[in-house]
Amino acid sequence: MDPADALALLMSPAGRVDPYPTYERLRAHGPVVQAGPVFYVVTGYAEADAILRDARFGVMDDGLRDQFMPGWRESPAVLSISRSMLRTNPPDHSRMRRLAAGAFTPRRIAAMRDVVQAQADDLVDRLLAGGRGGAPVDFMAEFAYPLPVGVICALLGVPAADRPLFRRWATDLTGVLEPEITADELAVADRGAGELRAYFTELVAARRRAPADDLTTALVQAHDGHNSASAPQDGAPDRMRADADGESLSGDELLANLIVLLVAGFETTTNLLGNGLVALLDHPDAAATLREHPEFAPGYVDELLRYDSPVQLTSRMSTEPSRHGGLDLPPESWVIVMLGAANRDPRRYPEPARFDPWRPQIHPLSFGAGPHYCLGAALARLEAQVAFPLLLRRLPGLALAGAPERRVRLTLRGYATLPVTVGR
Ligand code: HEM
């Protein structure tokens, strides 16, 4: 199959729901394939890793956005993502990332284990109550969503009562991360972004009035600047405010980073919990071993991240000529890096379609690589390392109650619904 046809198949509903056969069709043409004049797709592990770390590549900047996505400044969804660290290049990227990184140091994340454990235990209690007498419960709605959203909201200081609001808004917004999006889908994404921006505008105002010990307050203070005597007035122009260290955020950046931290903090981890549970239920012997030996959780979670990656792709633009996978890539090449395909590269992982938590040195590319390497990787791993052994131990009879329904999404791969019985 021609690479352009394979790519079209990947964008179709069937291709999005099960991309793995199409990855192999692309891989048959080499680890990097050309799918258009300046358009490339990467399925090789070594090549994906190298491109993500290559300083001649960056995320799409405003100039390129103007060229490829005219009118993007009118889209709250594109604006929300593109003003965050996720879609900016140095020096803006490094400045924003430094401001949030303090909340994600290994020590801070390790200290959250008790919070994660308590929330997960509470959710298992609720699964037990909802599933009493063999009633099916939706694992996505009752566990996979509320655990990560509860944890990231605790970090950001979002009130517990507001947590149910975000699932719909985030699902709507993240349509904008798909490699192709229709005008209708963009309108839905814009609606989600509008709700999230309105929500965070209020939370920012609340933290300005009454600072708290949370990440939202820290970012609000970075925006307002250590030196500014008073908070900005409503309607004040959105401009950079330099503080004593030169570290600050514009108003758009403040909202965009809060939204990305919230949404990246749970959409992905929700999918890790859903995809991972299905993989474990499909492999009862491996699940039994984890039930008996929770200390094996780190290897299991990394293999789950590799086997069915919650984030299947990201993209980069090149600024200079480069050579990868035997191809010469001109400047302004647009490259889709298929993380989910790289994680199944047979040159790196023998029998890649086999779930095997005993693989040596798994190091999946599921969290990306290079300057944009996932800020929340340690937190996501912690949540899954706590959740899976706990679920298996407290719900030994956990079983699928019908076919789970996949979301028709390529970038953020997960289930819409996952009916289970809890075995009591
Ligand atoms: C970036 C995956 C959980 C926050 C990324 C990237 C990937 C990723 C692939 C890089 C994107 C790129 O290079 O273009 C995942 C997966 C997760 C997860 C698979 C769960 C299983 C989290 C959590 C947070 C988070 C819990 C918490 C806040 C972020 C942020 C970035 C990011 C802020 C942008 C970093 C930057 O651009 O410098 N994530 N993520 N993620 N992730 Fe995660």
Q: What interface predicted TM-score (ipTM) does this complex get?
A: 0.99
- The low-confidence residues of the chain, meaning pLDDT below 70, are 226-247
Burial of 253 (0-12, 13-18, 19+ CB in 10 A): buried
Give the pLDDT confidence score for residue 231 in this predicted structure. Answer: 42
Determine if ligand 1 sits within 6 Å of the CB of residue 95. Answer: no
CA of residue 271 to ligand 1 center, whole Å: 13
Determine if ligand 1 sits within 6 Å of the CB of residue 260. Answer: yes
Give the pLDDT confidence score for residue 396 in this predicted structure. Answer: 95
CA of residue 374 to ligand 1 center, whole Å: 4
The total number of structural domains that make up the chain:
1
CA of residue 401 to ligand 1 center, whole Å: 31
pLDDT tens string 285-314: 999 999 999 999 999 999 999 999 999 999
Give the pLDDT confidence score for residue 225 in this predicted structure. Answer: 74
Which residue's C-alpha comes closest to atom 7 of ligand 1? Answer: 367
Backbone angles phi, psi at 165, to 5 degrees: -65, -30
Give the pLDDT confidence score for residue 244 in this predicted structure. Answer: 37
- How many other C-beta atoms are found inside a 10 Å radius of the C-beta of residue 73? 12
Give the pLDDT confidence score for residue 246 in this predicted structure. Answer: 52
SS3 34: strand
Backbone angles phi, psi at 194, to 5 degrees: -60, -45
Q: Which two tokens stand for residue 314?
A: 């990201």
As a whole number of Å, the CA-based R_g of the chain is: 21
Which residue's C-alpha comes closest to atom 2 of ligand 1? Answer: 367
Mean pLDDT taken over the chain = 92
CA of residue 367 to ligand 1 center, whole Å: 6
Peptide bond preceding 76 in cis form (omega within 30 of 0): no
| Residue linked to tokens 């200079």 | 320
CA atoms within 13 A on the CB side of 214: 20
Determine if ligand 1 sits within 6 Å of the CB of residue 374. Answer: yes
CATH of the domain at 137: 1.10.630.10
Give the pLDDT confidence score for residue 62 in this predicted structure. Answer: 85
Determine if ligand 1 sits within 6 Å of the CB of residue 270. Answer: no
Determine if ligand 1 sits within 6 Å of the CB of residue 366. Answer: yes
Cα–Cα nearest to 290, from 282, 281, 300 = 300
Choosing from 302, 374, 386, 412 the residue with most ligand 1 atoms within 8 A of its CB, the one to mutate for a pocket test is 374
Choosing from 215, 268, 409 the residue with most ligand 1 atoms within 8 A of its CB, the one to mutate for a pocket test is 268
Determine if ligand 1 sits within 6 Å of the CB of residue 19. Answer: no
The angle formed by the CA atoms of residues 190, 191 and 195, to the nearest 5 degrees, is: 115
CA of residue 205 to ligand 1 center, whole Å: 26
For the four alpha carbons of 131, 134, 136 and 138, in that order, the dihedral sign comes to positive
Name 294's Cβ contacts closer than 8 Å, sequence gap at least 6.
389, 393
Give the pLDDT confidence score for residue 66 in this predicted structure. Answer: 87
Query: Bridge partners of 412?
Result: 311
**Domain span at residue 77?**
3-421
Phi-psi sector, 133: left (phi>0), alpha (psi -120 to 50), beta: left
Determine if ligand 1 sits within 6 Å of the CB of residue 85. Answer: yes
Query: Bridge partners of 41?
Result: 33, 336
- Atom nearest to 314 CA in ligand 1: 14
